[in-house]
Chains A and B, each alone.
Chain A
Amino acid sequence: MKIGGLLLLLSGWAIVVAALLLLHSGALSAFIVAGFAVEILGLALFAKAHVLISKDNG
């Protein structure tokens, strides 16, 4: 779960960078927002993994 979160964070950033390198104008903004949304999902997953670890440790 933790690794999944980290990978989603990195993937989101990769989407943002790819959009900057490959796209222009309207599509660019849409893909940047999409990449950012993927990062938020990754961050939520990453945080959730730590909450579970914290609960397991008592």
Chain B
Amino acid sequence: MTDPLVQVRGLVKHFPLTRGVLFQRKVGAVQAVDGVSFDVRRGETLGIVGETGCGKSTTARLIMRLLDPTSGEIRFDGQDVTKLKGARLKALRRDVQMIFQDPYSSLNPRKTVGATIGQPFAIHGLAEGKNERKRAVQELMETVGLNPEHYNRYPHEFSGGQRQRIGVARALALKPKLLIADEPVSALDVSIQAQVLNLLLEMQRQLGLTLVFIAHDLSVVRHMCDRVAVMYLGRIVEIGPGEALYGFPRHPYTGALLSAVPVPDPDQRVEQRELLSGDVPSPANPPSACRFHTRCPKAQQRCSIDDPPLQDKGSGSEAACHFPLSREEVAAIGVRSAR
């Protein structure tokens, strides 16, 4: 099959801002996700990067149907997720699973690990019978590198990395088609982070999973993902294969992000770094047209009038920019992944 597993078209999610207690008047909206379109191909890993508040987690929640979109379409395996109800929705929940950022708050402290990992089986009426379920759970624990004898332990008896393994086991219990990992390693120490990343790659290889990997750490995303989407204020500003996007970023925001990453090599210290000025504008009142124009070093008048669409810029990735970066500019701002 060559059709994409997930097709997102014109996805919009606005959270209303209201005033008043009894008669709530709508006074505006936080435009968390505002017109996002992308595909997730079968078996690939799509990375979504961006800074706090860019809408990457909201996008994930929309795909999961944990939130209802304001408008737009999400097709998962051919069916429109946004209109699912009842048994069909429950089936979706089985096919799409999520791993969360914080391994501490995403596990119920009063449930044993066995109960936590076994919960998906209980919900979907699988692996009935005490012994059978226990066997299934212990098998999963073994797969993700946990000691199956720890079946009856509680989350507090595990370290951060082990807890994230529990989260992975729970997510894999129902053999999902799509796994969404929302900042799965950002709460972990570096040495443990590598363990969890390796586990995810290994699981993907074994089970043929499709992965949506959300993170703010650009090196981690580069390592994990086939394709990468860069989000800024609710929009995708650039999307393409990791190689192309990191090697030759076209959108000035992608360039600024990549240039900002400190590299563990003192010989590569950048003297001339592209520093973005100011802060990300409020998503309740985003700038007109290109949302990056208020901070963009290349912005011209056109950028505040004419909204640039995502377009192939001839270097392998699609960027939403009227004045994409040239190779010279990429080198000048100190993007160390440039090639």
Question: Do A and B actually bind?
Answer: no
